[in-house]
Amino acid sequence: MGDDPRAELMTLVASVAEHLRHEMDLGNPALPHVPAPSPAPAALDASPVSVARAPEAAAAPIAAPAPAPASEQSRGERLAVLADRARVCTACRLHEGRTKSVFSRGSDRASLVFVGEGPGYHEDQQGVPFVGNAGQLLDKMIVAMGFAVDEVYICNVVKCRPPENRTPNPDEATACLPFLREQLEVVAPEVIVALGRHAAENLGVAEPGRRWRGEWGTWQGVRVMPTYHPAYLLRTPENKRVVWQDLQAVVKAMGRTLPSR
């Protein structure tokens, strides 16, 4: 050995290791398998440890808002839905001859409502109540009371024209009453004018064998004035005077005054 035994030893070890590697490369089976030294562990990262997370569940789709309950719908919306139902109603035989369902005209916020019997020929053709001669007379009566024609609400007991303009049969009126009831509940008028005995009977303010015209009654707490139908006045114009008295009583009950002539 030389002066530096440690250096000579390191040289010897390196020579032996090189020889062993050479023999291993040649595939010498006599040599044991020497596993390669494992690499030194990497230094710990000072940064926070990342924790794998389970994939988040997909967000549920946003459902369309449910239709507003009837109490939250506007009056116009509720009446439009009701009119659509009346348009396709087949609850009684009157639908068989129907050209158009006749639902209403006027304001859905009216303080005064007129209820007639049923549509005639012109109403059946146009789908609007009181547009014939009787309707023209009714409009004049409304204006004379101090109301604009589009300020009141006008409808009928039945929404389809009875054959030959006859009075609706009891079963026909009964089938249609749910429409009338809901119309009046939605509009919520201060006063109702029942035009003709049939309308008065179906509003519960005309009893058989008793005087009915000009006698105040009530329907679900709403005051009702029954009077003659405009079509009847066209045949008996002498009764216009008493009808005008009834309408004057309505104006007074509503706290209004007649327009000056």
Span 232-255, pLDDT tens digits: 999 999 999 999 999 999 999 999
Residue 62 within a domain? no
Q: For residue 161, what is the domain's CATH number?
A: 3.40.470.10
In a domain, 12, yes or no: no
Q: What are the pLDDT digits (tens) for 184-206?
A: 999 999 999 999 999 999 999 99
Q: How far apart are CA 123 and CA 199, in angstroms?
A: 17
Read off the pLDDT of residues 73-130 as tens digits, 9 standing for 90 and up: 799 999 999 999 999 999 999 999 999 999 999 999 999 999 999 999 999 999 999 9
Sign of the torsion formed by the C-alpha atoms of 117, 118, 120 and 122: positive
Q: Is residue 26 part of a domain?
A: no
Bridge-based pairing of strands 112-116 and 153-156 is parallel
Task: Tell me 26's DSSP state.
Answer: T
Per-residue confidence band for 11, with pLDDT thresholds at 50, 70 and 90:
low
| Residue 180 · residue 202 · CB < 8 Å | yes
The domain total for the chain is: 1
Average pLDDT on 66-70 reads 45
3 state DSSP class of 185: helix
Residue 220 lies in a domain: yes
Residue 219 lies in a domain: yes
Stated as kind and residue range, the H or E segment containing 122 is: helix 121-126
pTM of the model: 0.73
Q: What is the mean pLDDT of residues 9-35?
A: 52
Show the domain range for 241: 73-253
Where do we find the tokens 């007129």? 114
Q: Output the pLDDT for position 73.
A: 77
Tokens 């009126």 sit at which residue?
173
DSSP structure string for 205-238: ---TTS--TT--EEETTEEEEEE--HHHHHH-GG
> Is residue 1, in this structure, part of any structural domain at all?
no
Residue 138 lies in a domain: yes
Among 102, 77, 87, 69, which residue's Cα sits nearest to residue 186?
77
Residue located via tokens 């049939």: 198
Q: What is the mean pLDDT of the chain?
A: 83
pLDDT greater than 50 at residue 180:
yes
Banded pLDDT at 182 (limits 50, 70, 90) = very high
